[in-house]
Amino acid sequence: MAATVQQSFVPRDFEVFVGLDVDKKRIVGTFRDQGSLLKSLQLPYSAEQLLRYTEKHYPGRKVAFLYGAGPTGFGLYDSLTGGGHCCLVVAPSMVPRAPGQRVKTNRLDSRKLSENLRGGQLKSIHVPSGPYRQLRHLVQLRDSSVGQMKAAKYRIKALLLYEGIAFPDAAERWTRNVLKQLQELEANPAVTFKLASLRAALEFSRLQAANTQREIRRFCRQEPELRESIQFLMTIPGIGWIVGSHLVARLGDWRQLGNVRQIAAFLGLVASEHSTGDQVERGPITHLGDARLRCKLVQSSWTAIRKDAELREFYRRIYGRHPRHLAARKAIVAVARKLTTRIHAVLTQRRPFEVRPERSSTPLTSEETAGPRGRLVGAQNNGL
């Protein structure tokens, strides 16, 4: 698998800067040089036409392109970089906007992007290479199937509650026996038909999630770098195949990882901050990035503190600093943040994680893992 490590963008190394506003039908571009605006134009969504225009009007000049990440994906990026040009893809939320601006058009957006590109004010996201993109598709499909499966379960429970029918299992666990009893429930024809439809949707989603998970395993075994990265991640206590494959899909090429704090920031596990002068104000975590992956990592943290004495003691230290109704949540998020440093280490150093010898540590009590109402925090598993 060929590695595609992005180089840092230096504006003075380029002569023409092109901001592109892209949708599924057209490309609106603004060309400018180091001094002034050169040209604004609108083209059909065709990378070939854009490349021909650039080669015709700016032959022999170093051109840099920039467009915002969106539903059109990275096909335009592939074509422009394949044509020998520099291309940056920026997160739309990171493009600065003037508070007083009340007019928004594609042409104005492209002009703004070209200005920011020339000024070096924007930083490109990490564009994943082919295998990582394919793995991301599979991971997203599995998560969608699991989400549909959960939705079907909620609808079944809501239907039974509405009709005054007790759920077969008092603990509300979805075992095979429960599914069989749902099939045999006696109700009026309309409810029976609706329940059968919901059970069919549940079974379809379950099979789709299971088939997708098998495809993820098959695909990763065929890609040596993906397989190796997942194997390294699985040596970290608490991380299994599902979380490991999702991490690799979202983080992308390990060569593009920066400092050790980058993964935590990418997953929204760092504290928000609004400080000025000597006054420091830190708030809750930023909740940026992939929410599903962040939740999976928190779930992994609950397993990790039961397997790793070092993490268990760290959890207890954080737990003791907060009020009881917040302690478990604060502490487990801190453990998830600590897991990101291990993830960074095994991926960048390309080695398995070495668990330190077990120290004498007492198991966690039910009080230490309980939320504000005494319920076990993080007890539900979002797997199959």
Sorted by sequence, the CB contacts under 8 Å of residue 274 that are 6+ apart come out as: 281, 283
Is CATH 3.30.420.10 what the domain over 11-119 is classified as, yes or no? yes
Contact 133, 74 (CB under 8 A): yes
Q: What is the DSSP letter of 92?
A: G
Are 153 and 174 in contact by the 8 Å Cβ rule? The answer is yes
Predicted pLDDT of residue 7? 55
**Domain parsing of the chain, residue ranges:** 11-119, 129-222, 224-384
Of the candidates 237, 239, 209, 229, which has an alpha carbon nearest to the alpha carbon of residue 148? 209
Report the Cα 210 to chain-centroid distance in Å.
21
Q: Per residue of the chain (384 residues), give pLDDT as tens.
A: 333 445 578 899 999 999 999 999 999 999 999 888 888 999 999 999 999 999 999 998 999 999 999 999 999 999 999 999 999 999 998 888 888 888 889 999 999 999 999 999 888 988 998 899 999 999 999 999 999 999 999 999 999 999 999 999 877 789 889 999 999 888 899 999 999 999 999 999 999 999 999 999 999 999 999 999 999 999 999 999 999 999 999 999 999 888 899 999 999 999 888 888 888 888 889 998 899 999 999 999 999 999 999 999 999 999 999 998 899 999 999 999 999 999 999 999 999 998 877 665 677 777 777 654 444 444 334 333
Whole-angstrom Cα distance, residue 23 to residue 13?
A: 29
How much is the pLDDT for 359?
62
Residue 60, classified by CB atoms within 10 Å of its CB into exposed (0-12), middle (13-18) or buried (19+), is: exposed
pLDDT digits (tens, 9 = 90+) for 86-121: 999 999 988 888 888 888 899 999 999 999 999 998
